[in-house]
Structure formats: structure tokens, C-alpha cells
Structure 1
């Protein structure tokens, strides 16, 4: 049964919606009549012009909120602003993630390990998601089915790691998977209608993957629109027993 099957006025939150997959989710959900209200976060207004233009076009449906996911006070403030307008969320998708940024680049060997870079990976890719789970939990504690999904990556699978390298990114995504698995267990007691999952989107044609697309075959490099459609299809088909699991874009379960 679809997550939205019995919901007429769904509320959604897309975290990290200023571009790429996050912006794609906002654009797609704006076309869905089952979704009444969409909250979308961005870090800097100068990098969110397209998102903010959508808000100007549809201010009654789309509310954009500034948020740095590494700042817990901002997460709490963002959550409080949403709670001031609605009393429940039905879909939250956390799309925030970092692979490269200035001097921070995926490590090819132990010689390139940098403690500050590792901390940055974990702050954005791991810790931010569990802080969202902490502060948004009251908005999940209702009787209607709802989903809290976080974009992870297959490269964070320990069982699937055959190539090595990319220490910080791999480890931070593995940590994300464990944190969300643990959140799912606690949520099962506190908000049993919430399905918590991590999702592998596949290699998507975004700024994050741009420097690493050279060896990706064309059929495995997805445009944003395809990635969004595929992940929403996975979300639509989730069942309560799926909470705490790690899914690929095609709906298959991935090894931890």
C-alpha cells in the first residue's frame, strides 16, 4: 500500500533542496496533489535561486527555510518553525551530503587521511541526520503512516566494499546507516507508524558526482528526474517491516 494511499493532505520536508536530488524532489512533489505543504531547506540563498523562485511561484504550498545541518540550534529552530504551522509530517527526505569541497577530496590512500576532513564528512553525512531524527520526532508521532528517508550510498556498505579508498565518505555513510537503523528501533516504540530507511540513489548527474563521472557508463548515470522518480517509487512501496533497512534505487535491499 502506498504511503500516501489513505492521506489526502500530506506534509513533506525536503532537507537540502537547493539543488540536485533535493531540488528534484521538491519539483516532483509540487506536481503531486496529495501533498498539500512542502517545506524545503537550503544552506545559502545564493546557491538556492531556483528553489526560492519556486517558493515565489507557489508560496501557499512551498515554504523554504535556511538550515545548516551541522548546527543543532538551526535544526531545532527549523523544526520549531514547522511545528508552528503543522502538527505532523508524512514524508521527510534528507538529501544533504558531501563528497568533495575545496581541499576536501575522496582519499585514494592512507597518506591522504586528514582528521579535519574526516570530521567534516561525519558532521554532514552522519551526525546531521540523527539530529534531524531527534528534533523532528514530535512531527512523526501521529496515527497516519509516514516515512523518514535519508540519502545514503552503496559505497557506505561494508559488505560491498571491494575497492577500498574513499575512507571518509565510506565511513561516514556507514555510520549514517547505523544511526538510522538505531533511530528506526527507537521510533518503533515512540512513533510506530514511521518507516525509517536509507536510500542509495545510484550515480546521479549532479555537482556531487560531476568530477567522478568519467568511468561511469551512460546507462548507469541517471538524470535527476529519473533518480527522483525511482526513489519515490521505492518510498511509495515501503511497508512497516521495511523500517531500518537500506534500499537501492531499484527497491533491492543492500548489505550493511
Structure 2
């Protein structure tokens, strides 16, 4: 049975890859389970990698196959998320809203993490004591929105926030020692932020290794209460 397992979902992204390295340095002998669409090299004998197409059926199957590890995990981190592709990017005005772009972001940023929460939550009990982290964004904050634009991305991440908040209420009844965290990494040097990096103030573009260290510190320091934390890389609370 994989006690104190570290489970990383969406493991091929830039932040996820850095997080895996950071976690391995901190916990070299803990079971590590990584999940992504494609393959990735194993780091050591404690590392298991699982390929998943992120369909609902596959997500449920993966969760069922690792349910013992989920029950006794120390952290479960969901890094699924997108912002742009070769066809679409963030909207600047109402006229830019496109149904296909909105649907794509809702599937990637909201629905897929929700399906993971559903699959994971079925296997958590009051004996479980893990931190469940989901990658969110400051632009999901309704209170903080003073610039406008980015309709689809804002909406998909705000919907994700609501889903995780709602899940935390249910987990308080079935897994009272588990903690949900919505994490804003800041602007990270990754393919997701690449088209927008020219507008980032000096010193505010973070390398993935820094974000991974910050996230690891925040996970390690979380109080395992039933509240959901919506926080940035410094641990500062973000208004909903």
C-alpha cells in the first residue's frame, strides 16, 4: 500500500515537471505517481507513471487502480489547464468571444479537474490526510477583476474555484483531514505565458523551479482544516 504517496496529475507541464523534481528532492523515498496524456521517464524505483486520455471513463479507471494510494496520499496536485493554442487566445473585447475557444477552456480548465475531484473524492475517508491542490489563477477572482477581457479564461477558472470550494464542503463530511488549495502561481516562464511575457514587470516572471518551491512550502505548511485556501505563490489570500 502506497502510504504518503505524492500524486501529480497533468505531469508534463512546466510547473508540474518542476514540482515533481522539488518533491523528489524533499521526499526521495515516498511513492510518486505521475499522470499525463503521454509517457515520461521514471525517476527511480518509487516512481509510477500512468498515461490517461482524460476522458471520464479513463479518469475513473485510473483513480480506481490507485485508490489505496489516494486514501493514504500526502498530496494530490492537479495541474491541468490551458490558455491559448494556435487558433485562439484571450479575448480583448466582447466581439472576440468564440464558442469553440470557450468550450475548449471549460473542458480543460474546469471539467477535467472536476472529474478528477469526483474520482479522487470517492476514495478519501476520515483516515485520509492529504492536501489537494488545483492550479487556479488570480484572474479568476471576481473582486480583483478591474481590467476586463480574457472572458473565457476568467470564466473557466472562476467556475473551477466554485467547484473546488463546493468539493471542500463535501469533503468536510467524508474526509475531514483533507485540505483543498486553489493555487495562483504568478506569471511563470512556461509555454502558457510565453505570448504575454513582454508585458510582465521586471522580477515578476518566475522560473518554474521557484514556483515549485513555493508550492511545496505552502503544501507542507497547510493546516488540515476543512476550509479551502485560494492563495498566491506567497501564501497570500486572494479575494473570491
Please tell me the TM-score bracket, short chain as reference.
over 0.9
1:209 aligns with 2:203: no
TM-aligned CA deviation for residue 144 of structure 1:
4.6
Q: CA deviation at 1:9?
A: 4.7
Shift of 1:33: 2.9
**RMSD in angstroms over aligned alpha carbons?**
1.8
Q: What residue in structure 2 maps to residue 48 of structure 1?
A: none
Following superposition, the deviation at residue 43 of structure 1 comes to: 1.4
Shift of 1:36: 1.3
Partner of 1:65: 50
Summarize the alignment of residues 155-194 of structure 1 with structure 2, pairs less than 5 Å apart.
155-194=139-178
CA positional deviation for 1:31: 1.4
| Distance in structure 1 (CA, Å) of the matches to 2:192 and 2:174 | 35
The answer for unaligned runs of 5 or more in structure 2 is none
Counterpart contact for 1:182–1:244, Cα < 8 Å:
no
What residue number does 1:247 align with?
A: 231
Q: Distance in 2 between matches of 1:27 and 1:139?
A: 27
- Pair 1:175–1:208, CA change in 2 (3 A): same
Cross-structure match for 2:24: 30
Name the structure 1 match of 2:213.
229
Residue 190 to residue 14, structure 1, CA distance change in 2 (3 Å): same
Runs of 4 or more consecutive aligned structure 1 residues displaced over 4 Å after TM superposition? 84-87
Confirm or deny: 8 A CA contact 2:126 2:174 kept in the other structure.
no
CA–CA distance in structure 2, aligned partners of residues 109 and 214 of structure 1:
20
1:4 is matched with none
Q: CA deviation at 1:104?
A: 2.1
Q: Distance in 1 between matches of 2:182 and 2:33?
A: 20
- What aligned pairs does 1:66-215 form with structure 2 within 5 A after superposition? 66-69=51-54, 71-83=55-67, 87-215=71-199
Q: Please give the TM-score of this superposition, normalised by the length of structure 2.
A: 0.93
Which segment is superposed worse, 22-31 or 170-179? 22-31
How many corresponding residue pairs?
239
Task: Note if contact 1:76-1:135 (Cα within 8 Å) is conserved in structure 2.
Answer: yes
Cα distance, 1:12–1:214 mapped onto 2, change above 3 Å: same
- TM (norm. structure 1) is 0.88
